[in-house]
Amino acid sequence: MPKIAVSGKGGVGKTSFASLLAYVLTEQGNRVYAIDADPNATLAQALGFPPELAAQVTPIIEMDDLIEERTGARPGESGRMFKLNPRVDDIPERFSVEYRNIRLLQMGTVRGAGAGCICPENAMLKMLVTHLLLREKEAVILDMVAGMEHMGRATAGAVDAMFMVVEPGARSIQTAKDITRLARDLGIGKLWAVGNKVRNERDEAFIRSSLTDLPVVGMLPYTERAIEADMSGQALYDLAPEMVARVREIVARVLP
């Protein structure tokens, strides 16, 4: 099972899709690590984690002492020597919470890191994602920050597949193209697009004709149920079977 990132423009449905993908992968007996890589963390809600459980997650980036212990430098410190391959094998178990076979981790906010920065916290994040690949019958899904910010870049270097979520609109298409270029430069082998909030054939045709350079592996319908799930805090997976069915088809197509 590859490590999968979900990217795209702001608000297109990255978190929604990542949450559905996580549940669909558990249907096949996988244990899923769902990593919320967005500082503005909302994946727990989309997954329908009970709020008191979600509150127990410690964002990895806030563990200054742990990062210092493992890398030899404190977060935010530059110019000091630090280990590029810190030990991270115990982190998934210690700092995540589990619900319905999904282990949730939050990365938190990287402070003061410029583009391309190699700092202790980034080394830790990248190692964490890399390490998670090594286990069997496990899947890793990263819900990325909108666009392609530096932290995304550092972590994206450790994933091997990426879904670009687009909606019917030229702006999300442009963002998907920009991210795709960057992802190709990073050597991410498998890049797919998924249309979301698709209302009719015209929407679908628009997406397909705009993304000629990227395989479009599925379309998720626009549905009021997504909005209801967002308001109620229930798992989108439980409320929107019409979306779940499409995600199952996508998984069967690209992650057999």
Q: Which does 16 bind (CB under 5 to 8 A by kind): ligand ATP, Mg ion, none?
A: ligand ATP
Minimum distance between the CB of residue 211 and Mg ion, rounded to whole angstroms?
21
Taking the least distance from each CB to ligand ATP, the nearer of 88 and 193 is: 193
Q: How far apart, in whole angstroms, are the C-alpha atoms of residue 150 and residue 154?
A: 6
Distances (CA, A) of 84 to 44, 48, 104, 147: 29, 35, 24, 26
Minimum distance between the CB of residue 80 and Mg ion, rounded to whole angstroms?
33
Q: How far apart, in whole angstroms, are the C-alpha atoms of residue 49 and residue 57?
A: 11
Taking the least distance from each CB to ligand ATP, the nearer of 86 and 218 is: 218
Q: How far apart, in whole angstroms, are the C-alpha atoms of residue 58 and residue 56?
A: 6
Q: Which stretch binds Mg ion (CB under 5 A): 7-15, 65-73, 193-201, 222-230?
A: 7-15
Q: How far apart, in whole angstroms, are the C-alpha atoms of residue 161 and residue 51?
A: 30
Q: Which stretch binds Mg ion (CB under 5 A): 11-19, 59-67, 87-95, 152-160?
A: 11-19
**Of these, 1, 3, 12, 14, which contacts Mg ion (CB under 5 A)?**
14
Phi–psi pair at 248, nearest 5 degrees: -60, -40
Minimum distance between the CB of residue 198 and ligand ATP, rounded to whole angstroms?
8
Residues engaged in binding ligand ATP (CB under 6 A): 8, 10-16, 38, 42, 146, 196-197, 220, 222-223, 226-227, 230, 243
Q: How far apart, in whole angstroms, are the C-alpha atoms of residue 78 and residue 166?
A: 37
Minimum distance between the CB of residue 21 and ligand ATP, rounded to whole angstroms?
12
- Residues β-bridged to residue 162: 5, 191
